[in-house]
Structure 1
């Protein structure tokens, strides 16, 4: 396939990084859709999108979800990234570049906001029916206890069996304190609920999608 043909094909977008992100340290990363979907960068001035050829039939299969997550984890370990949710496809490189240039200021501001920070997801699961009677109070308590240890906190959509599903943006140098606090809060709920943290991870819930 020639470079010109590649530029006019739909691309699957993993995320946005700054132009100086050390992307070149990643080699042979495979994207969504199979072994031929090699990951590459689409530069546009001060920022760049990390992409791969879009599969003809995009479905949320486990292997593709894991491939999406792996690419973003690798990028994030090297520097700040604005991760896209699974399934974001741009019509072609030229339209993607135009959107990156249009939103460059917003993307750079967002990258600055997540530099040196990571997301932690916290779930509070009720152990039995009686525990659900205290659900609202326990959820508020957990949020109140964890917010001082984070830059931002936001409740997410309901999750079956959980009284709270929340995400927190945490400074890397406060991550240990945050995770320790999760354990401490878990111990204060008298066994009614269990508090569990998942992360650190890329800041999925603290960035806006391309074109937002």
Structure 2
């Protein structure tokens, strides 16, 4: 049986956990390798074998990395390590990662105990939000009527102006609706991280850290928001996952 440190093999590092966390024996990660732990005191690195000469950047590898971390998050606190982190062997995992940052990892794991991440993605119904913009802005309505079924060449200036006004109106609308969503979410979570998003249907992408004890309360709040925005926007809740947006370690 090969172990990390054999010729050509290194340790791929997924994350940091408490040394008492029991990793499922059938959990597999990058390259379909069995996942194990390298303990140091009361913390441990979650690792698997990897060909140290082989670059890991494919979609399958990224999915495997996330699958391992999300599985661990369901078992206890986990500090994600950046995707693609490989150390030479188990000794290097201890000397270069766990030992230098041992106290920091202890504190981070303590802060994460009993908490999980969810991500909420809110997207407008494009036709509905554009109808609202037209109904609420007389100038947009006028320019829309002016340019309808007219040649692009003869209405170029009006189309440019229409695009600018629509873009500005959508920005104002998403900001206002986003505040409504965030204000309600903030009542049920311990931390928020708003992500950048793009597209005419964008409303909000936000990662939240939730106490396990308040998870049911949080999910009911999201259901209430979905009802509030029904017909105008679709809400998608993803999680629980590892706390990617709130902690990060480098190997």
TM-score by length of 2: 0.73
Which piece of structure 1 moves more, 154-163 or 45-54? 154-163
189, 196, 206: which one aligns with 1:157: 196
For the residue of structure 2 that corresponds to 1:53, the secondary structure is strand
* 1:135-174 superposed matches below 5 A: 135-160=174-199, 161-174=201-214
TM-score by length of 1: 0.85
Q: 1:94 to 1:193 in 2, by over 3 A?
A: same
For the residue of structure 1 that corresponds to 2:249, the secondary structure is coil
Residue in structure 2 matched with residue 22 of structure 1 by the alignment: 22
For the residue of structure 1 that corresponds to 2:245, the secondary structure is helix
Shift of 1:6: 3.4
Q: Take 1:4 and 1:172, find their aligned partners in 2: how far apart are those partners?
A: 35
1:120-175 Cα shifts (integer Å, max 9, x gaps)? 10111121252635111111111111011001111123254422110110011111
* 1:33-182 superposed matches below 5 A: 33=31, 35=32, 37-55=33-51, 56-61=54-59, 63-98=60-95, 99-128=97-126, 129-130=129-130, 132=170, 134-160=173-199, 161-182=201-222
Q: Take 2:78 and 2:247, find their aligned partners in 1: how far apart are those partners?
A: 9
The answer to whether the 8 A contact 2:190-2:209 is kept is: yes
The answer to whether the 8 A contact 2:70-2:240 is kept is: no
The answer to whether the 8 A contact 1:10-1:89 is kept is: yes
Residue in structure 2 matched with residue 5 of structure 1 by the alignment: 5
User: Which ranges in structure 2 are unaligned for 5 or more consecutive residues?
Assistant: 133-169
Residue in structure 2 matched with residue 205 of structure 1 by the alignment: 245
The answer to whether the 8 A contact 1:40-1:52 is kept is: yes
Q: 1:45 to 1:138 in 2, by over 3 A?
A: same
Number of equivalenced pairs:
206
Shift of 1:7: 9.0
Q: Take 1:170 and 1:2, find their aligned partners in 2: how far apart are those partners?
A: 40
The answer to whether the 8 A contact 1:17-1:47 is kept is: yes
1:24-62 Cα shifts (integer Å, max 9, x gaps)? xx21322212x4x2222112222110111224131222x
The answer to whether the 8 A contact 2:118-2:210 is kept is: yes
The answer to whether the 8 A contact 2:72-2:242 is kept is: no
Residue in structure 1 matched with residue 228 of structure 2 by the alignment: 188
- More RCO (CA 8 Å, sep 6+): 2
